[in-house]
Structure 1
Amino acid sequence: MNLDGKTLVVTGVASGIGAATASLLQQNGATVIGVDRNVPAEFSGTFIQGDLSTPEGVAAVADRVPEGVAGLLNIAGVPGTAPWQTVLAVNVFGVRDLTRLLAPKIADGGAVVNLASNVAAGWAARQLEVARFVQAADAAEALAAVAGDPEVTGNSYRFSKECVRWLTQVQASEHLGRVRVNSVSPGPVQTPILEDFKKDHGREKVEGAVALLGRAGQPQDIAEVIAFLLSPQASWINGTDLCVDGGLSAHRTVTTLASAAV
Structure 2
Amino acid sequence: MTLHGQTFVVTGAASGIGAATAALLRDAGAEVIGVDRNTAADFRGVFVQADLSSAEGVAAVAEQIPERIDGLLNIAGVPGTAPWRLVLSVNVFGVRDLTRALLPKLVPGGVVVNLASNVANGWAERRDQVIAFTSTADREAALDLVGADPEITGNSYRFSKECVRWLSLEAASSALGKARVVSVSPGPVQTPILEDFKVDHGRDKVEGAVALLGRAGQPADIAHAIGFLVSPEAAWIHGTDVCVDGGLSAHRAAADSLSVTA
| Partner amino acid, structure 2, of 1:200 | D
Partner SS for 2:8? strand
Aligned counterparts of 1:160 and 1:73: Cα–Cα separation in 2: 17
Q: Could you tell me how far apart the structure 1 residues matched to 2:78 and 2:65 are?
A: 23
Q: Secondary structure at the match of 2:43?
A: coil
Describe the SS at the equivalent of 2:110: strand
SS in 2 for 1:143: helix
Residue type matched to 1:258 in 2? L
Match of 1:114 in 2: 114
Q: Equivalent residue for 1:15?
A: 15
TM-score computed with the length of structure 1 as normaliser: 0.99
- SS, match of residue 215 in structure 2: coil
Report the secondary structure of 1:85's partner residue.
helix
Q: Which residue of 2 aligns with 1:30?
A: 30
**2:261 equivalent to 1:261:** yes
Structure-to-structure mapping, 1:43-82, within 5 angstroms: 43-82=43-82
Distance in 2 (alpha carbons) for counterparts of 1:69 and 1:232: 15
Report what 1:180 is aligned to: 180
Q: State the partner residue of 2:250.
A: 250
Which position in structure 1 is the counterpart of 2:209?
209
Counterpart amino acid of residue 130 in structure 1: V
By how many angstroms is 1:62 displaced? 0.5
For 1:221, the equivalent position in structure 2 comes to 221
Letter in 1 for 2:147: A
How many Å separate the matches in 2 of 1:180 and 1:115? 14
Task: Please name the residue that 1:199 is paired with.
Answer: 199
State the identity %.
69
**Residue-by-residue CA offset, 1:209-247 (whole Å, 9 max, x unaligned):** 000000000000000010111111111111100000000
Using the alignment, how far apart are the partners of 1:155 and 1:50 within structure 2? 26
Cα distance in structure 1, aligned partners of 2:22 and 2:42: 11
Match of 1:190 in 2: 190
Equivalence for 1:134:
134
TM-superposed deviation, 1:18 = 0.1
Query: Secondary structure of 1:226's partner?
Result: helix
Q: Over aligned residue pairs, what C-alpha RMSD do you find?
A: 0.6
Instruction: Please give the secondary structure, in 2, of the residue aligned with 1:258.
Output: helix
1:241 corresponds in structure 2 to: 241
The amino acid across from 2:63 in the alignment is D
Matched pairs, number: 262
Take 1:246 and 1:138, find their aligned partners in 2: how far apart are those partners? Answer: 37
SS in 2 for 1:124: helix
Looking at structure 2, the residues matched to 42 and 168 of structure 1 have their Cα atoms a distance apart, in angstroms, of: 32
Runs of 5+ in structure 1 lacking a partner?
none
Q: Distance in 1 between matches of 2:79 and 2:211?
A: 22
**In the TM superposition, what is the alpha-carbon distance from 1:152 to its structure 2 partner?**
0.4
Tell me how far 1:42 sits from its aligned partner.
3.1
**TM (normalized to structure 2)?**
0.99
For residues 140 and 101 of structure 1, the distance between their equivalents in structure 2, rounded to whole angstroms, comes to 19
Deviations 1:97-136 (A, max 9, x none): 0000011111111000000000000001111111111111
The alignment partner of 1:113 has SS state of strand
Partners of 1:156 and 1:183 lie apart in 2 by: 19
SS in 2 for 1:119: helix
